[in-house]
Amino acid sequence: MPELPEVETVARGLEKALLGDKFTKITLNRADLRFPFAPDFCEKLSHKEIKSISRRAKYILMTLSDGTVMIGHLGMSGSFRIEPKGGDSLDRHDHIVFVTEKGVRVRYHDPRRFGFMLLTHINELSKHPQISSIGPEPLGNKFNGPVLAKALQNKKGPVKVALLDQKVVAGVGNIYACEALYRSGIYPKRAANTIKGVRAERLATAIRDVLNEAILSGGSTLRNYSNTDGELGYFQHRFRVYGHEGEPCQNKNCSQHIRRITQSGRSTFYCSSCQR
C-alpha cells in the first residue's frame, strides 16, 4: 500500500497539472471502488475551479471553489495517470476518467479496486470519519520527540506496531517504520510506552528524515506504485533494512545480518545489534 511519500508525490503531481483548472467531463466506468460513488459525484466535481490539492496522512484532498472536497485514497494498487495532451486509450482497470477545461485527461487506474473517492465540504472535513482521528503530520513543525512520546505513552505493545496506528502519527506505514526504527537504533519489539526523552527525539527525527528522503526520490516502487506521469519511485534502492533479510548490516562497525520477524501480520526487518 502506498505510504506517505508515495501519496505526497502523487498529490504534488496532480497539483502541478490541475491547479486552477476545471473538470468539464467525468466518466465513471463502474459504480464503485471500495465504496460506492456518491450519486452526484460527477456533478459535484464538474465546472468548479480546483483551488488546492494536498495530502493528509495517506489521503489526497482536492478542494474546489465551492468548498467541495474530494477525499481520495489509492488503496493497494490505485494510481493516477495525467495526459496533458488528452488521449482516448483506456485500460480495463481505468475506472474513472477526468477531462479538464484545458484539455488535460486524468485516468484513475486500480486493478484491485481498494481505493476510494469520497465527497465532503471543507467545513466538515475535520469531522469526516476518514480524517477526524488521524494523528500529527510527521513532516509538520509540531511533530517532535515530546509529541511522539505522548502519543505512545499508553501503548504497551511493540513500538513498530504502534507506529502503524494512524492515530499515533499520520501516514507512516510498514516500510518507513522499519527504516526509521533502524536509523534511530530502536528495537522493533520494544514497548512503545518506553519511547521517551532522547529516544523519542531520535525516532521523531528519523521518521521525518526518512520520509523527506523518500519524497525526494519519488517514493518507493515495490509492486504497483508509480507517480502521475508513470515514472517509478527510487527510494527502494536506499532501503537500509527493509527487504534485506540475511544481508550484512550497513553499519560498518556491525558484524550482524538483517533479520526478519512478523508483527501483526507484517514483515519487520531489523538489526539485532544496532537496535536496542
Which residues are tagged catalytic?
A: 2-3, 58, 266
The x, y and z cell numbers of residue 11, run together, are 498529490
Query: Any idea what DSSP says for residue 238?
Result: G
Q: How far apart are CA 131 and CA 197, in angstroms?
A: 29
β-pair type (105-109, 79-83): antiparallel
What's the distance, CA 249 to chain centroid?
27
Q: Kindly list the strands in the beta sheet with 105-109, ordered across the sheet, starting from the edge strand earlier in the chain.
A: 23-28, 94-100, 105-109, 79-83
Instruction: In whole angstroms, give the CA distance from residue 79 to residue 74.
Output: 6
Q: What is the CB neighbour count within 10 angstroms for residue 209?
A: 14
- Altogether, the residues listed in the chain come to a count of 276
Q: Are the beta carbons of 150 and 196 closer than 8 angstroms?
A: no
d(CA 11, CA 6): 9
Radius of gyration (C-alpha) of the chain in whole angstroms? 20
Report the alpha-carbon distance of residue 2 to residue 58 in Å, rounded: 8
Query: Which helix (DSSP H) or strand (DSSP E) does residue 143 occupy?
Result: none
